[in-house]
Amino acid sequence: MSKLLNTTEFNFSIKPQNPEENCQIIHSQLNKKTKQKTHICKKKIVSPLRYPGSKKRIVTDIKEIINANNLNPELYVEPFAGGASVALNLLNDGIVEKIGLIELDSLVADFWYTVFFDTDWLIEEIETIEVSLKNWHKFKHTKPQSKRDRALTCFFLNRTSFSGIIARAGPIGGQKQQSKYKIDCRFPKKTLIERIRQAEALKEKVAFVKNMSWEEGITGCAQK
């Protein structure tokens, strides 16, 4: 860690107007200081899943650490995948060549597998599904039997339950749907489909999606 980023070397008087511009300013300054290849940020990628306390806020820090240490990682493994924000951003911005996701919850793991490798089916389901309290109960109380079922259950419950919590939370808007915020308020189909398509576009660079604990998954990577 000898080349850890020294932020005092950076010119913070340049004020970015938005997060993407911020990314470009930091990268162009990194480029001058470290003579590393410049990573131009493409359209920002946003996870289709909602996660409280998402790691997306540390994406810029991780990029800076990778750059400042002259690392050129071939594979970045996200051991608690969840919304996979860090992995998706590093891959989308060309900071890493490949990603691998490890996730203990089979609903979440199968969601990511389906996003990358069975995308058209998932999108068709999303386009046609009715986002209602009736369907919330159906997903909540039916044990999904296939990878596809688990993927759709994960996505539907994540986008329609309080704070995106799949297992223990109630429906957004409550059982009586008397709140200003109804069951479908976090389910903007067009935007979510765009996010899924953007993730799908990276599928050639997804080394694996493993449904297992982080210990098992990381040990498996280290042994290769």
Ligand X SMILES: C[S@@+](CC[C@H](N)C(=O)[O-])C[C@H]1O[C@@H](n2cnc3c(N)ncnc32)[C@H](O)[C@@H]1O
Judged by CB under 6 A, the residue of 24, 54, 69, 119 near ligand X is 54
Give the residue with the Cβ less far from ligand X, 56 or 182.
56
Judged by CB under 6 A, the residue of 45, 63, 82, 139 near ligand X is 82
Q: Does 152 bind ligand X (CB under 6 A)?
A: no
Q: How far is 54 from 83, CA to CA, in rounded Å?
A: 7
The least distance separating ligand X from the CB of residue 103, rounded to whole angstroms, comes to: 5
Binding mask 94-133 for ligand X (x = CB under 6 A): --------xxxx--x-------------------------
Q: Does 48 bind ligand X (CB under 6 A)?
A: no
Q: Which pairs from 203-208 meet CB under 8 Å and 24+ separation?
A: 203/116, 203/117, 203/119, 205/91, 205/97, 205/98, 205/99, 206/98, 206/99, 206/100, 206/101, 206/116, 207/75, 207/98, 207/99, 207/100, 208/100, 208/101
The least distance separating ligand X from the CB of residue 54, rounded to whole angstroms, comes to: 4
The least distance separating ligand X from the CB of residue 63, rounded to whole angstroms, comes to: 15
- Tokens linked to 154: 């994960």
